[in-house]
Amino acid sequence: MRGIGQPSARSRWILGLLTAATALCTTASEPTYAAASGASAEPIVRTTTGRYQATADSDGTLAFKGIRYATAPVGALRWQPPKAAPATREPTRAAAFGPACLQTGAPSAGTPATSEDCLFLNVWTSGLERQAKRPVMVWIHGGGFRSGSGNIAGDRLARYGVVVVSINYRLGPLGFFAHPDLPSDIANFGLLDMVAALQWVKDNARAFGGDPQNVTIFGVSAGGQAVALLMASPQAKGLFHKAIAQSAYATWALPRNRSAAVPAPKGQDLGPIESAEASGQRLVERARRDARLTGQPNSSALRSLDGQALVDAVQGFQLPIVDRSTLPDEPAIVFRRGQHARVPLLTGGNSYEGSVMPESGIGTEDFSNMLGADFAALQRAYASDFSVDPALGVRRLFGDYRYLLSASTLAHANARVGQDTWLYYVDLAAEQRRPQWPGTPHGYDSALLFDSDTAAPEATRQLGERLRKHWVAFARTGNPTAASGMRWPAIEPDTLRWMVFGNLDVVRDDVLAEKLELMSARYRKRLPQ
The set of catalytic residues is 221
Is residue 435 exposed (0-12), middle (13-18) or buried (19+ Cβ within 10 Å)? exposed
Q: How far is 103 from 82, CA to CA, in rounded Å?
A: 18
What is the full DSSP assignment across 175-190? HB---TT------BHH
Q: How far is 475 from 215, CA to CA, in rounded Å?
A: 7
Q: Could you list the beta-strand ranges (E) of 133-191.
A: 134-140, 163-167
Is residue 369 exposed (0-12), middle (13-18) or buried (19+ Cβ within 10 Å)? exposed
Report which secondary-structure segment, H or E, holds 426.
strand 421-426
Map residue 507 onto helix, strand or coil. Answer: strand
* CA dihedral angle for residue 285, residue 291, residue 295, residue 301, rounded to 10 degrees: -80
Using only C-alpha atoms, the chain has a radius of gyration, in whole angstroms, of 22
Q: How far is 405 from 498, CA to CA, in rounded Å?
A: 13
What is the full DSSP assignment across 427-471? ----GGGTTT-SSPBTTHHHHHHHHTTSSS-HHHHHHHHHHHHHH
Q: Output helix, strand, coil percentages for the chain, rounded to the nearest 5.
A: 35, 15, 45
513-526 and 405-416 helices cross at what angle (nearest 10)? 80
**Contact between 105 and 147 (Cβ < 8 Å):** yes
- Expressed in angstroms, the distance from the first to the final Cα of the chain is 40
Nearby residues of 504 by Cβ (< 8 Å), 6 or more positions away:
none
